[in-house]
Structure 1
Amino acid sequence: MTRTLDALDDRLAAADADAYCIEAGSDDSNQLYLSGFDAPDPFLTAYTGEELAVLVSGLEYGRARKESHADTVARLSTYDYADRADEEGRATALAGVYADFLADLGVESALVPERFPVGIADGLREAGIAVEVDRDDVVESVRATKTDEELEAVRRATDANEAAMAAAEDLIAAADVADDGTLVIEEDGEETPLTSERVKEEIEVTLLRHGCALDETIVACGADAADPHDRGSGPLEAGESVIVDIFPREKASKYHSDMTRTFAKGGASDTVAEWFELTEEALSAALEAVEPGATGAEVHAAACDVYEEAGHPTLRSDPDTETGFIHSTGHGVGLDVHERPGLNPRGEELEPGQVITVEPGLYDPEVGGVRIEDIVIVTEDGYENLTADYPVELVVE
């Protein structure tokens, strides 16, 4: 992926640091972004502004040379790590190897993220390398604004997401209502309950066929849907709201999408129907507020205004409420499914190229839950809704 690191260069200059260093595996999205290398075990990346260098194990050395963004790739054995570990212990040896590696790069001072291992930081300091913590998380800030290549990856993940959502919706729509009010489907000539787990299976299989995967997803019905992050379980019920929230990651690029729809099979209660209409209104109001220069706080306020005017509590009107609108309006999406910028009371200014979700909702265990989530790109003059063509409809038949 192409990257723009000007802001990182500026941060290094402001801190008067020789390098920005990350010690982590590629499950740390800042590491993956900066190094361009997908490896499960921790390794050291050092960016000086003039050079990007990585220090990896011998196992990963060949692949790092081929796949990473690094100008320089070194391996632990060059610095006699194994012998030093036998003599000094692994932790001490690793910090010493890192210090020698940085010294070879001419690095005497390093800026590191807050999640940098404290033991490694102490070891570097003992070896004479100054270590300062980057409390602004500049790499995540850089990641928030996507290049065209990154945006295309999000688009592909969104196409897969829509296919998975359609598969889930079709499965719910095809279900019949049993005498006890649960949904049932016919498979292999037998009538079986339609469960949250079965819908999730359909979602996951569809995503795999589209080059995406996910660790988990949300298919939550009834009272389960009243908890925004309840994954859902068990049989789905007719007449109850079913929140389907899918947040896949494209396997090739590692970029995410995120989308939510709420369905009801066999009709919906008057309250759920009213909530759905109100949430559509909140979604529209929040989307209208999205433009460069607007803040995430202003977008969040637009959604809160709709709910509060209709008499529903929000965390803005009642920070202790457990019902109503009980989460932020959205978040950034990229290598992480939740990243900057945030659409919340502290949300910063939006910039073109950022990818955000807009996802208002209402929740009460006595009723269930309703949430609608679109994913949009902030553009030069507003936004592009990547999920605009996917219908927003409550009742499926």
Structure 2
Amino acid sequence: MDDPVDLTPLRAMLEQRDLDGYLIDADGSNSDQRYVSGFTAPDPYQTLVARDGVHLLVSGLEFGRAQSDSAADSVSRLSAYDYHERRAEHGRNEGMIRTLAAFLSDHNVDTVAVPQEFPTGTADGLREQGVTVTAETEGVVQKIRATKTPWEVNQIRATQRANEAAMAAAETLVASADVEDGVLVRDGTPLTSERVKEEIEITLLRHGCGLDETIVACGADAADPHNRGSGHLAAGEFIVIDIFPQDKETGYAGDMTRTFARGDPGEEARRRYAVTEAAYEAGLEAVEAGVTGAAVHDAVCDVIEDAGYETLRSDPDADTGFIHSTGHGVGLDVHEEPRVSPSGGELEPGHVISIEPGIYDPAVGGVRIEDLIVVTEDGYENLTDYRVALDPTTE
């Protein structure tokens, strides 16, 4: 990460609680681990935030790369603390615990805070070695991560550019398909959700990004917000395409949803699309530093409810209408702080959030529109550059 990570709130928490350090024990898929260490590896390693800096404990296999790539003040290998001898004498698990305890002692750390997901076995083992381990339940690192540096915003922007290319590839498939007996057909074969997902994934790979899953959902499938979609794509039905890739090198995510219909989906469906687009615009207009995520969510609900559709605000048990929150933070995780929801707190400059209202009903289908934006001092910057239109085009 080019911009330095500001761990001031974490250090303030340690000082307030009179703790010597903060310890993370996880592999690089853990976003807090990756963020604090500035490093990623497929096997677990340890990151210690102590009074004198950030220190890593890694295997010999990762030592050289950690020295060159990480943001840590020091990097130690397991062998520096006699790991192999300890493992031979005490077994793999206890040998690792004793090695970690020696590493902590070397940095004058007797008391540590750990994240909630910290391994129980490691915590109990350290306690047996005389280390005081306290679970930190406020998510202090997640809160730090919520405010992006300019470098991070640029990485998210780059991922969103790849996302737009993937959306364009998907839209082109839908727009250029023939219609036969109410089904979209391409090259004589029915166009399926799976075929569109394949094109999305190939396009993302060519832009250095990837994803585990994406959403291409048609008709009643689109009425379930997290239904990934499957099978033939139909004419005259909503097709919700939601793509949320991550850059393979930096780990930063993007997120965007568009809804298309090839052929006329009907008057009621078009009305729902228009209401969703108006709610999306209202959500964007409500965003500025100092407002709460809850207030932005309310602005979206106002539009949808005024149009006669249910929301979870008007009916917490609703299973049609607007049945999710307005948005969420995006960064190293596709879903992270802050929240644009009934419980969403104050938005700050540097927060990257999605705005994604939708209206859902299996009898009509689902519609959702989503952009990714960064909160600024005087409003927001839209990180998404892709038209909002119901009818797909090859332009």
TM-score by length of 1: 0.96
Counterpart selection for 1:392 from 381, 388, 392: 388
Q: In 2, distance between residues paired with 1:241 and 1:361?
A: 12
Q: In structure 2, which of residues 214, 227, 231 is the aligned counterpart of residue 230 of structure 1?
A: 227
Question: What letter matches 1:285 in structure 2?
Answer: A
Deviations 1:273-301 (A, max 9, x none): 01100001111111111111111111111
Cα shift readout 1:104-156 (whole Å, capped 9, x = no counterpart): 00111111100011111111112111111111111111100011110110110
- Aligned-partner SS, 2:339: strand
Structure 2 residue identity aligned to 1:184: V
Matches within 5 A, 1:118-133: 118-133=120-135
Q: Quick one: which of 18, 21, 24 aligns to 2:20?
A: 18
Shift of 1:172: 0.4
The match for 1:268 is 265
CA contact (8 A) 1:43 1:55 kept: yes
Q: Distance in 2 between matches of 1:262 and 1:374?
A: 12
Percent of pairs with identical residues:
59
Number of the residue aligned with 2:359: 362
In the TM superposition, structure 1's runs of 4+ consecutive aligned residues that sit over 4 Å from their partners are: none
- Following superposition, the deviation at residue 385 of structure 1 comes to 1.0
1:260-284 deviation per Cα after TM superposition (whole angstroms, max 9, x unaligned)? 0000001222121011000011111
In 1: Cα distance, 2:264 partner to 2:89 partner: 71
One-letter identity of the residue aligned with 1:323: T
Equivalent runs, 1:147-158 vs 2, <5 Å: 147-158=149-160
Residue 183 of structure 1 pairs with residue 174 of structure 2: no
Contact 1:330 1:344 in 2 (8 A): yes
User: For the residues of structure 1 that align with 2:17 and 2:296, how far apart are their CA atoms?
Assistant: 33
Name the SS for the 2:261 alignment partner: strand
2:8 alignment partner in structure 1: 6
Whether the aligned pair in 2 keeps the contact of 1:221 and 1:243 (CA below 8 Å) is yes
8 Å Cα contact 1:266-1:396 kept in structure 2: no
The equivalences for 1:275-354 within 5 A come to 275-354=272-351
Q: Is the 8 A contact 1:292 1:382 kept in 2?
A: yes
1:210 maps to 2:210: no
Deviates more, 1:322-331 or 1:44-53: 44-53
Q: Distance in 2 between matches of 1:390 and 1:66?
A: 38
SS of aligned partner of 1:395: coil
1:34-45 map, 5 Å: 34-45=36-47
**C-alpha separation in 1, matches of 2:392 and 2:156:** 28
1:196 to 2:197 alignment: no
CA distance in 2, matches of 1:66, 1:396: 47
Letter in 1 for 2:173: L
State the secondary structure of the residue aligned to 1:337: coil
Paired residues of 1:268 and 1:395 also in contact (CA < 8 A): no
The counterpart of 1:134, out of the listed 133, 136, 147, is 136
1:32 aligned partner: 34
Between Structure 1 and Structure 2, how many residues are aligned?
391
Among residues 247, 252, 256, which one is paired with 1:250 in the alignment?
247
The alpha carbon displacement at 1:361 in A equals 0.2
Q: Which one-letter code corresponds to 2:26 in the other structure?
A: A
Shift of 1:334: 0.4
- What residue identity is the alignment partner of 1:56? V
How many Å apart are 1:333 and its aligned residue? Answer: 0.3
Q: What's the CA shift for 1:320?
A: 1.4
The alignment's C-alpha RMSD in Å is 1.1
Task: Work out whether residues 15 and 111 of structure 1, in 8 Å CA contact, stay in contact via their aligned partners in 2.
Answer: no
CA distance in 2, matches of 1:16, 1:364: 53
Q: Which residue of 2 aligns with 1:91?
A: 93
Cα distance in structure 2, aligned partners of 1:110 and 1:78: 21
Report the 3-state secondary structure (helix = DSSP H, G, I; strand = E; otherwise coil) of the residue aligned with 1:357: strand
Q: TM-score, normalised by structure 2?
A: 0.97
User: Is the CA contact 1:279–1:362 (under 8 Å) kept in the aligned structure 2?
Assistant: yes
SS in 2 for 1:351: coil
Structure 2 counterpart SS, 1:362: strand
User: 1:100-111 maps to which residues of 2 (within 5 A)?
Assistant: 100-111=102-113
Whether the 8 Å CA contact 1:214–1:248 is kept in 2: the answer is yes
- Amino acid paired to 1:172: V
Q: CA deviation at 1:311?
A: 1.9
How far apart, CA to CA, are the structure 2 residues paired with 1:96 and 1:137?
27
| 1:173 and 2:175 are equivalent in the alignment | yes
Gaps of 5+ in 2: none
